[in-house]
């Protein structure tokens, strides 16, 4: 179950060390979700860790190529056809891939995160709230070379400081933002922590995967919302689900408890993965 919270957004941000800036995104279902924007400090911390990992990868590649070149005479005969410059060429290719592919690959695989961003608790998303696709991730990171000028991401830092949503040039190109992912230690998903499955109402099968995502997104982020916004959001979602499924909400059942029950039933049916 989710505990009730009386914290205001500013109090919650202060308790978690987040900046005051936040962006509110309206979903296609006209539900407002609030995301705290990541500031220069958290982004720089993530960048510092990612740069350190890249540097370690560079060193690993260099030492690997030195070892390969040293022990090449002991390799099987079918390696002999390779030209003498193959080791430096492979090293250059490896360094190129690490520089240009590190951020793009992680942000595609981890849905907007790199190792540094995971540690800093931030993620890249579109201004609409959805995840970036492959082409947007590539476009965003191609401009990293300009954002890094003249050194220590000077252009990127200045651009992030003067734009309202803290966007560097790569963000402006594809319409992305970097937001905090709040860690709510006291929140435990009721449908994932319970050993017993709730009786599933057949009518929940009419709910789409997108609506399940909407319900779970609200349940996971409701403690970060203003109480009035949280109540209005829960009412809109519950009204939509009740109208679509015909499942009534019990008179003594809160809106959050109703949505938790619906989400638990949907998860317990194992229709959505």
Domains of the chain: which residue ranges? 19-181, 190-268
87 CB neighbour count, 10 Å cutoff: 18
Q: Is this model's pTM higher than 0.75 or not?
A: no
Dist. CA 231–CA 211, nearest whole Å = 18
Angstrom distances, CA of residue 104 to CA of 61, 99, 114? 19, 10, 9
- Which pLDDT tens digit goes with each residue over 92-145? 899 999 999 999 999 999 989 999 999 999 999 998 878 899 999 999 999 999
- Which pLDDT tens digit goes with each residue over 178-227? 998 865 444 444 444 444 444 556 777 788 877 888 888 888 888 777 78
DSSP-derived 3-state class of residue 60:
helix
- Helical ranges in the chain per DSSP H: 9-16, 40-71, 86-109, 115-120, 134-142, 144-147, 154-162, 169-174, 190-193, 209-221, 227-245, 255-268
Supply the pLDDT for residue 79.
56
User: Tokens 């492979």, residue?
Assistant: 90
Upper half-sphere CA count for residue 137 (Cβ side, 13 Å): 23
- Tell me if 198 sits within 8 A of 264, measured CB to CB: yes
């Amino acid at each position: 179950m989710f505990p009730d919270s009386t914290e205001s957004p500013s109090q919650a941000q202060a308790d978690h060390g987040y900046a005051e800036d936040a962006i509110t995104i309206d979903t296609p279902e006209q539900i407002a979700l609030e995301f705290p924007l990541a500031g220069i400090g958290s982004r720089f911390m993530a960048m510092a860790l990612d740069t350190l990992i890249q540097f370690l990868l560079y060193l690993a590649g260099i030492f690997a190529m030195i070892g390969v070149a040293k022990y090449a005479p002991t390799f099987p005969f079918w390696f002999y056809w390779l030209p003498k410059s193959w080791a430096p060429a492979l090293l250059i290719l490896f360094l190129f891939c690490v520089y240009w592919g590190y951020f793009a690959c992680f942000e595609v695989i981890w849905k907007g995160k790199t190792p540094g961003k995971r540690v800093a608790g931030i993620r890249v998303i579109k201004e609409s709230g959805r995840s970036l696709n492959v082409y947007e991730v590539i476009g965003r990171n191609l401009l990293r070379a300009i954002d890094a000028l003249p050194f220590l991401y000077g252009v990127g830092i200045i651009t992030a400081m003067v734009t309202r949503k803290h966007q560097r040039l790569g963000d402006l190109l594809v319409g992305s933002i970097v937001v905090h992912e709040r860690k709510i230690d006291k929140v435990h998903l009721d449908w994932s922590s319970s050993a017993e499955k709730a009786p599933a109402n057949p009518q929940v099968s009419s709910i789409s995967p997108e609506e399940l995502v909407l319900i779970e997104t609200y349940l996971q982020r409701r403690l970060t919302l203003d109480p009035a916004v949280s109540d209005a959001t829960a009412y809109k979602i519950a009204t939509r689900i009740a109208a679509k499924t015909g499942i009534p909400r019990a008179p003594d059942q809160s809106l959050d408890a109703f949505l938790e029950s619906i989400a638990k039933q949907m998860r317990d049916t194992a229709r959505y993965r």
